[in-house]
Amino acid sequence: MIRDVIRLLPKPIEEFVQTFSQFELDKLEEIRLRVGQVIECLFTTGPIYSTKSPYVFSEDDAAFFLNQLSQYSMYAFEEEMQKGYITISGGHRIGLSGKTILENGVVKTIRPVSSFNIRIARQKLGAALKVASELYDKRKGWLNTLIIGPPQTGKTTVLRDLARIISTGSENVHSYKVAIVDERSEIAGSMNGVPQHHLGTRVDVLDGCPKAEGMMMMIRSMSPDVLVVDEIGREADAVAIMEARHAGVAIMATAHGRTYEEIAKRPVFRELFQSMAFERVIELGRTPCPGSVKRIRLTKQVVLA
């Protein structure tokens, strides 16, 4: 819930955010905090700034907020700082930027942090209903699917709901065992390893584990029917996906990109597509709203949604 975020904010910023109605907060996508700048709240309808009061985010605010985040989980904080973000309870992700500190040419941490991008995570039950029927075959079961789209197009939201639908089943489709490798704690929103989102009864979650390693661990230990993973893109991810395919496990994954044609130019995805790793590719957009299906691409033809 958004309250998981609000309770961590410096008091003046918490008070500003709480001036919005619950109806408005339900449409809040991001809170942007930048040292020396007014607060930006990004809604589905556009940004609103703290210019009436006007409140400027300070270095002291940044230090306070960073301290709040580090108390959430010191281990996760140190690990994720190296990646430029930290995920908190509820699956909300806080992106970080500022001065990077390198060690042997590798980012060790970011200090001081001068900008925060708080991305609000929400579960939208039914978000994947419009595509689920296209991803199931009575003979084969669930088809290997890649969901693509730019940031803030609802990829994780749709993926999460797919996991719920697959796990729960329906009157015409029996339920399947689902394994989620949740490297950034965004799909399940786990707290102490327990999912906070409603995912059905047949879901196992490996939280905070690198995707490639996690996929192999789940295949070996949890015997899933369907493997769910967010934001693939590395060579190691491709290897793990092909291993899953050879093991007879269906894949549901997401990746950043605007179109199939665009990501097919990237070596990792070109290899996966040539190997027919995915039977469906879904392109998402933000118009008229996040999660809108632009196109569903089959292996041999293109179908407009």
The DSSP secondary structure of 143-209, one letter per residue, reads: PPEEEEESTTSSHHHHHHHHHHHHHH--SSS----EEEEETTS-SS--BTTB--S---SSEEEEET-
Residue owning tokens 């996760």: 76
* Residue-wise DSSP of 232-294: --SHHHHHHHHHHHHTT-EEEEEEE-S-HHHHTTSHHHHHHHHTT--SEEEEEE-SSSTTEEE
**Gap between the Cα atoms of 45 and 246, Å rounded:** 45
pLDDT at site 258: 94
pLDDT at site 304: 46
pLDDT at site 72: 60
Q: Which of helix, strand or coil describes residue 89?
A: coil
pLDDT at site 240: 97
pLDDT at site 93: 86
Are 119 and 92 in contact by the 8 Å Cβ rule? The answer is: yes
What residue spans in the chain does CATH classification 3.40.50.300 cover? Answer: 129-304
Are 217 and 209 in contact by the 8 Å Cβ rule? The answer is: yes
Cα dist. 57→15, 178, 216, 248, 264 in Å? 13, 43, 44, 52, 41
Q: Which CATH number applies to 3-119? A: 3.30.450
pLDDT average per 10 residues of sequence, the chain (305 residues):
89 94 93 97 92 88 92 68 83 91 88 94 91 95 97 94 97 95 90 85 94 97 98 96 96 96 95 94 91 87 47
Q: Is the peptide bond before 112 cis (omega within 30 degrees of 0)?
A: yes
What residue spans in the chain does CATH classification 3.30.450 cover? Answer: 3-119
Q: Which CATH number fits domain 129-304: 3.60.20.10, 1.10.3720.10, 3.40.50.300, 3.20.20.70?
A: 3.40.50.300
pLDDT at site 185: 85
**Gap between the Cα atoms of 96 and 261, Å rounded:** 31
pLDDT at site 115: 98
CB-hemisphere CA count at 13 Å for 4? 20
**Gap between the Cα atoms of 50 and 56, Å rounded:** 8
* Residue-wise DSSP of 61-80: HHHHHHHHHHHH-HHHHHHH
